[in-house]
Amino acid sequence: MSTEHQRYSPDSQREAIASFAQARGYEIVETYFDAGRSGLTLAGRPALKELLADVLSGEADFRAILVLDVSRWGRFQDIDQSAHYEYMCRAAGVQVHYCMESFDNDGDAMSSIVKHMKRVMAAEYSRELSVKISRAQRHQAGLGFKQGGDPPLGMRRQVIDESGTPRMILRRGQRKALATDKVVYVRGPLHEIEVVRRIFQLFVEEKLRLGQIEAWLNIRAFKQANGKPWTTSAVRRTLTQDLYTGRYVFGKRSNNLGRPAPAPSSDWVTAPVKTQIIATELFEAARQRLISITRRVYSDTELEAGLARLLSEKGHLSGRLIQSCAYLPSPEAIDTRYGSLAAAFRTVGFEIPSRIKKNPAGQPYTDEDLLENLRRIYREKGYLSGHAIQADGQSPNRSYFIRRFGSLEKAFAAAGFNFTVTDKRRAAAAYREEHGIACRPPKAFIRLNKDGSQITNDQLINHLKRLLDAHGYLSVHLIDADPDVPAKNMYRRRFGGLRRAYTLAGYFGSHSEIVRAARARLFAPSRRAPIAPDGASHNQE
CATH number given to 6-131: 3.40.50.1390
Q: Would you say 385 and 425 are in contact if contact means Cβ atoms under 8 Å apart?
A: no
Per-residue pLDDT reduced to its tens digit, 26-78: 999 999 988 777 767 777 788 888 898 888 888 788 999 999 888 888 888 78
Model confidence band, residue 306 (pLDDT cutoffs 50, 70, 90): very high
DSSP structural state of residue 327: T
Task: Give the residue with greater pLDDT, 58 vs 447.
Answer: 58
How far does CA 304 lie from the centroid of its chain? Answer: 27
All CATH 3.40.50.1390 domain ranges in the chain, comma separated:
6-131
The pLDDT assigned to 190 comes to 93
Per-residue pLDDT reduced to its tens digit, 407-442: 888 999 999 888 776 776 777 777 667 666 555 555
Strand, coil or helix: what is 385?
Answer: coil
pLDDT mean over 201-227:
89
Per-residue pLDDT reduced to its tens digit, 221-279: 899 988 899 988 899 999 999 999 988 888 877 766 666 667 777 878 888 888 899 99
Task: Give the residue with greater pLDDT, 260 vs 399.
Answer: 399
Angle between helices 80-91 and 109-142 (to 10 degrees): 140
* pLDDT reading at 528 higher than 50: no
The topology (CATH level 3) of 155-293 is Hect, E3 ligase catalytic domain fold (3.90.1750)
Residue 511, amino acid: H
Q: Is the torsion defined by CA of 282, 285, 287, 290 positive or negative?
A: negative
Per-residue pLDDT reduced to its tens digit, 144-199: 888 877 889 999 999 988 888 888 888 888 888 888 888 989 999 999 999 999 99
Q: What is the mean pLDDT of the chain?
A: 82
* pLDDT reading at 298 higher than 70: yes
CA angle (164 as vertex; 158, 165 as ends), nearest 5: 75
All CATH 3.90.1750.20 domain ranges in the chain, comma separated:
155-293
Percentage of residues of the chain with pLDDT beyond 90: 18
* pLDDT reading at 478 higher than 80: yes
Angle between helices 210-219 and 190-204 (to 10 degrees): 140
Sorted by sequence, the CB contacts under 8 Å of residue 55 that are 6+ apart come out as 65, 88, 89, 92, 94
The CA–CA distances, whole Å, from 151 to 172, 212, 226, 248, 344 equal 9, 24, 9, 11, 44
Q: How many CB atoms lie within 10 A of CB 330?
A: 14
The pLDDT assigned to 110 comes to 80
Which residues are bridge partners to 249 per DSSP?
A: 270
* pLDDT reading at 374 higher than 80: yes
- Alpha-carbon distance of 12 to 72, in angstroms, equals 13
For the entire predicted model, the pTM comes to 0.51
* pLDDT reading at 324 higher than 80: no
The CA-based diameter of the chain, rounded to the nearest angstrom, is: 101
The pLDDT assigned to 539 comes to 38
* pLDDT reading at 497 higher than 90: no
The pLDDT assigned to 538 comes to 40
Per-residue pLDDT reduced to its tens digit, 94-113: 999 998 888 887 777 888 88
- Alpha-carbon distance of 533 to 535, in angstroms, equals 6
Q: Would you say 436 and 428 are in contact if contact means Cβ atoms under 8 Å apart?
A: no
Model confidence band, residue 125 (pLDDT cutoffs 50, 70, 90): confident
H helix runs in 294-420, sequence order? 300-314, 319-323, 331-338, 341-346, 367-381, 386-391, 398-405, 408-414
Beta strand 95-98 pairing with 261-262: unpaired
Model confidence band, residue 341 (pLDDT cutoffs 50, 70, 90): confident
Beta strand 269-272 pairing with 247-250: antiparallel
Which residues are bridge partners to 454 per DSSP?
A: 448
Q: Which helix H or strand E contains 521, and what residues bound it?
A: helix 511-523
The pLDDT assigned to 526 comes to 42
Q: Which helix H or strand E contains 160, and what residues bound it?
A: strand 155-160
DSSP structural state of residue 169: E
